[in-house]
Amino acid sequence: MKCPYCDNPDTKVVDSRPTDEGQAIRRRRECEDCGRRFTTYEKIEEIPLIVVKKDGRRQVFDRNKVRSGIIRACEKRPVPMGEIEKIVTEIEKGLSNLMLKEMDSTIIGEYVMEQLKDLDDVAYVRFASVYRQFTDAESFRSEVEKLLDGAKKRRRGGSGAGAGGAGGSRSKGEATDK
Ligand SMILES: [Zn+2]
């Protein structure tokens, strides 16, 4: 780091401590030439996720919006807030791992649906119905029938697959674990 007083490139760190609850590091540096001291801050670079809406408008990704969409879908469902918070974090993580400068709002919707599918059937259908904007009753019904079909098979179970049943109780277990 160049000295701001004499432009000498050789400066040394004389003190280093976290600030802002660990969000930044504050360093005191001393110029090896003129001996003057100055302060630098090291921070994590925050790269905002930019969401492109259907009409082309751009917005910064807002996890609160994702959360409230999920809460609405989970209304009166036995889904603990902790689980919702967990999937919001999961979605945010997934999106930032894509390393895209901009992303279509539809990608976020797909991520939400993927997570809700495992969490709660009803919440999933509710979200999908709003999100995919089922234009005809037909596609909505077939989505619901698919889910009901899956649920029936799960209930009958026994014969082999046995993968079902566990689904619902698993998420409950995880929620109370912590
Ligand atoms: Zn200097």
9-36: pLDDT as tens digits: 999 999 999 887 778 899 999 999 999 9
Find the 1 Cα to ligand 1 centroid distance in Å. Answer: 11
What is the residue range of 34's domain? 11-43
101-110: pLDDT as tens digits: 889 888 888 8
The answer to the question of residue 109 being in a domain is yes
Tokens matching residue 151: 């649920």
Q: Could you list the pLDDT tens digit for every one of the 178 residues in the chain?
A: 899 999 999 999 999 998 877 788 999 999 999 999 999 999 887 778 899 988 899 999 999 999 999 999 999 999 999 999 999 999 988 888 888 888 988 888 888 988 998 899 899 988 888 877 655 556 667 777 777 787 777 777 655 444 444 444 444 444 444 4
What predicted TM-score, i.e. pTM, was given to this entire model?
Answer: 0.55
Find the 40 Cα to ligand 1 centroid distance in Å. Answer: 14
59 and 116 share a domain? yes
The answer to the question of residue 63 being in a domain is yes
Tokens 């990704």 belong to 61
29 and 87 share a domain? no
91 and 32 share a domain? no
Residue type, 154: R
User: What's the total number of domains in the chain?
Assistant: 2
26 and 67 share a domain? no
Find the 160 Cα to ligand 1 centroid distance in Å. Answer: 76
86 and 33 share a domain? no
32 and 58 share a domain? no
Find the 30 Cα to ligand 1 centroid distance in Å. Answer: 8
Q: Which of 48, 57, 82 is nearest to 67 (CA)?
A: 82
Burial class (CB in 10 A: 0-12, 13-18, 19+), 38: middle
